[in-house]
Structure 1
Amino acid sequence: MKKLFVALLVAALCMVAPAVALEWSDLPTGDLVLIDGMYPPGELCGTYFDVYLFEDDVYPGWCVDSMGTSIKDEWYEACLSSTIGVSEEWNMVNWILNNRGDVPFGETQAAIWMVLGQPIPPQYAEWDNMLSVAVAAEAAQHGDYIPGCDDVGAVLVESCLPCYEGQTLIIELPMEPCPPPVPEFPTMMIPVFLVGSVLVAASVLRKE
């Protein structure tokens, strides 16, 4: 039971902490990035890999350059920018991130590679199956997709150094939370009528 509690706590931190550390208003920006070498999947977030930003928390990460060399467990300077609305391909990626449901991380990663025109590495050939193909095919119908409130958006992470040949990746960053719903007029009037009724009743009792 204790191990389950710790696992749930770590998963919650993985989803909540990045919203505090990195904001969409910060982009574009530069940061020091580290790819945790324990993947796939990432040990904490359960995506392709866990990505750390300097002085920030851990972020769910996905590979978008299957041919690039991955620098594991080593900090490097990266430039971060938004992918939202940049192109149809990135819109498809954002659709996948927000509509993957129960699709396993491997098939999700394969679908991302597919919509970006990236080859699937031979060691992950088992991810190239009917499920990942179906996800990619569905994403292809949503080239105009833009994440909304309470969704996540993909932040592109790529080296700031022109000669660096390391892996380009994305991290998931929560969008702004949706505002609470505004009560409809009848619902808003119920407390008013209730208070008014109490005042009228109190006035009548005093007169009696």
Structure 2
Amino acid sequence: MPTLFHLNGAPGIGKSTLAQMYVDQHSGTLHLDADLVTRMIGGWQEDFWKTLHESRAIAVAMAATHLKAGKDVVLPQLVTSHDEIDDYLRAANENDAQYLQIALTAPKDTALKRFANRASDAGDDWNRHITGIIEKSGGPQLLLRIHDQLDDYLRKNPPVAAVDTDGSDPSQVYAELKTTLEALREPVRAENCIHAGQADGGSRG
């Protein structure tokens, strides 16, 4: 059964890095980074939110196509409300795939430092643009609110596993993540995940 592995965690915690490390060792697995899809659409800097919405629709279609072919997908994406993940869950369910949410965790101060380190990469247009949006929307206080929203979402929608990223380098975290994923290949229908989300009123983060 194909699997949609969802790596959920705060901004800058290492979701995309770990996803790439996983697919590098698992032939045929798709690293579905919606941020990369966004950057593939011309004009994303001028109309970011509209482009982000369009890119996520494309990403869902990519997930559905790959799962339908019987292949795994790794989705490194921050999710704090059901409307950010439900389309992916439906894509998994409609293609007889299982959905596994794995939380990547770290204390708030560690998460803030990692985001700041990523934002310091002046040569990366994406990081520079996202940093600008966050600074205009409250800076560190916004990141703390996102962290709290994520904690609340994970309490209401428990992941099948959590991987602590604090104090470890990416290779150590990846080794734990890989062991965790290999132990989680029991079928968990995405349909059940959708119903569980709807049962609590589809609360938003």
Indicate whether the TM-score tops 0.5.
no
> Which of 1 and 2 has greater Rg?
1
Q: Normalized against structure 1, the TM-score is what?
A: 0.29
